[in-house]
Amino acid sequence: MKIIVGLGNPGKEYELTRHNVGFMALDFLMKEWRSNQSFYEVGREKNKLYESVEFDWYRDEGRKAERMILLTPQTFMNESGKAVKKCTQYSGNAFDLSSDLIVIHDELDLHLGKMKIETNASSAGHHGVQNIIDLLGTQEFIRFRIGITPEVGIGEKAEDFVLKRFNQQEQTDLENVFGSIVDTLQELLRNDIETARNRYYNSVNG
C-alpha cells in the first residue's frame, strides 16, 4: 500500500492558491488514473481530518493489486500531520513510512515549473511538512517539492505570497510538473524511489 498526500488548505477561498499545489497535483493524478486501465477506483472516505480516494493498481494482468490512497488533509496546513498520522495508523505492519508515504507540497525555494524529489530530508521551514515530521516522529518519507516562485521573485511576505492564486499561464506550466509526477510515481511503483528519481532528473536534464 502507498499513501500519497497532497498538502493544502481546505475551503473555496484557498482553491488554486500556491500553498495548495499539493491538492492540485492530486486532482491531476486522480484524473489520470481514472483513465488508466491499470488503476481502478475502489472507494472514498471523508472525515473531520481528511478526505481520501482509493485506487487499486494492477502491475500486470493476473497479479494481486496494490492499494493506493490519495489523501487530502482537511485540517489547515500547519496541522497536516494529524491527518497523515490518522491514516497511517490503519495501514498495517507491512506499511513502511520510508518507501510507502509520499508527500507532495509547495516549495518557495524552487522556481515554478521545477520539482525536487527527496527522501529523509528536513522540512526546510515548511510548516505542514514539519507537523508531519513531528507527529510521525520521523522525516524518513518521500517528498515531491513543487516550485511555486516566479523567476522574478515574490516581492512580498512569504505568508502572503503563498495564498495568492496562480495565473492561467502558471497553471499550464504546473500541468507539466504534474505530468512528471504521474510518470515518476509509475516508475516508483514498478521499481523504487531511486530509480524513479534518476529517471526524472535524466528526463529534465536531457
Q: Walk across the sheet containing 39-46 and list its strands.
A: 39-46, 50-57, 66-73, 2-6, 101-111, 142-149, 115-119
Annotation says 19 is catalytic: yes
H helices of 6-106, in order, are 21-34, 80-88, 97-100
Which position among 19, 105, 126, 127 bears the catalytic label? 19
Q: How does strand 66-73 pair with strand 50-57? A: antiparallel
H helices of the chain, in order, are 21-34, 80-88, 97-100, 127-136, 158-161, 168-190, 193-204
- Burial profile 155-189: b = 16 or more Cβ within 10 angstroms, e = fewer: eeeeeebbeeebeeebeebbeebbebbeebbbbbe
C-alpha cell at 87: 491514516
- Catalytic residue positions, numbered: 19
